[in-house]
Amino acid sequence: MSPSPFQTAQNYFDAWNRRDAAAIVACFAEGGTYSDPASGGPLTGPAIGAYAQGLWQAFPDLSLEIVSVAGNDSGMVSAEWLMKGTNHGSMMGLPPTGKSISLPGADFIRVEGDKIRSVQGYFDSGALPRDLGLDVIVQPKSIGPFHFGVSTRVSSGSNATPGAFSITWLEVRSEEEREKVREDTQKIAMELLAMPGFISWVGVSLGDRMITITGWEKPDSMTPLMKDGAHRQAVGRFFAPEIARGGATGVWVPSRLNPRWIRCTECSKMLDAEKSQGACGCGAALPAALPYW
């Protein structure tokens, strides 16, 4: 006797809670599909298991608590669940936050015989990043001549005056390439933090164009970048058939840097940070001067 649709659905959730990718895939009929707001479309076969493993890597203690279950005579099972876990692994290429999530959602599971034909999951796709302390940005890609994107800054904490800026831009051809460039960029940024003369780095993504601007104490501070490490490997991939439609690099030397200004917290006067030497005419001590970059 075949198990009931409810039992088939329970077997499926049990496999999730055991973190058994093979057992999850085995619950599906040939050609059966899984889809939710984060899956990028319907998944089938081993891709379902790989998707689950990606979640377990980000949340090693992930669990699904079934809140309610209902069904009908056509083999449709609806299950309300609460997903819990702690972010101890990388997610979307980002370092783990150590924060916990409690994400409510629901699955609509169509069962045929003793196998699952489809799972359609629903949840608030913005709730998970918000629980992890991540920004959720909704904006257009472009409006007329204006292009929108996201940015990242990495700072050494140096307050030095920049003597040079290195600027690189690449134009990627696909989302897959975009992810590869992001992975390379994260590795390079970590290397920069250990380099003498590095001040700060800003990365910007605008549509298909990915731009980095790095501040240095002097032009030759960046020389070690080309000797070894992640930057040299990324350059090799650019000149191989692997990455980007095109791009450019350059080193820019400032022709003029105006004074840094800092406001007195007591009298609100704006002062030249260097000339004031840490003190306002009103007698108050000034905050530390802001970094140039």
Hey, what are 149's tokens? 């994107």
Which helix (H) or strand (E) segment is 30 a member of?
A: strand 28-35
Does the pLDDT value for residue 179 go beyond 90?
no
The confidence score (pLDDT) of residue 44 equals: 96
Hey, what are 123's tokens? 């949840």
What residue segments make up the domains of the chain, in order of their start?
5-131, 146-252, 259-293
Hey, what are 84's tokens? 């819990």
Closest among 259, 118, 255, 94 to 183, alpha carbons compared: 94
**Secondary structure of 121-160 in HEC code, one letter for each residue:** EEECCCHHHHHCCCCCCCCCCEECCEECEEEEEEECCCCC
**What number is the average pLDDT over the span 264-272?**
96
Q: In Å, how far from its chain's centre is CA 182? A: 9
CATH class name, domain 5-131 = alpha beta
Hey, what are 201's tokens? 């780095």
Task: Specify the residue for token string 């309610």.
Answer: 68
Provide the 10 A C-beta neighbour count for residue 76: 16
Cα separation, 25 vs 75, in Å, equals: 19
Does the pLDDT value for residue 152 go beyond 70?
yes
pLDDT digits over 68-97, tens only? 999 887 889 999 999 999 999 988 767 789
3-state secondary structure of 280: coil
The confidence score (pLDDT) of residue 29 equals: 96
Q: Strands 209-216 and 198-206: what pairing?
A: antiparallel
**What number is the average pLDDT over the span 166-188?**
90
Hey, what are 287's tokens? 């905050």
Domain 146-252: give its CATH architecture: 2-Layer Sandwich (3.30)
Q: What one-character DSSP code corresponds to residue 144?
A: T
For residue 104, list its beta bridge partners. 82
Closest among 150, 147, 154 to 135, alpha carbons compared: 150
The confidence score (pLDDT) of residue 2 equals: 67
pLDDT digits over 97-118, tens only? 999 999 999 999 999 999 999 9
Hey, what are 64's tokens? 């699904």
Does the pLDDT value for residue 1 go beyond 70?
no
3-state secondary structure of 13: helix
Task: Specify the residue for token string 């081993």.
Answer: 46
Helices (H), the chain: 5-18, 21-26, 46-58, 127-131, 175-192, 230-239, 273-276
What mean pLDDT is reported for the chain?
A: 92
pLDDT digits over 20-75, tens only? 999 999 999 999 999 999 998 999 999 999 999 999 999 999 999 999 999 887 88
Task: Specify the residue for token string 């959602």.
Answer: 105
**What number is the average pLDDT over the span 201-225?**
93
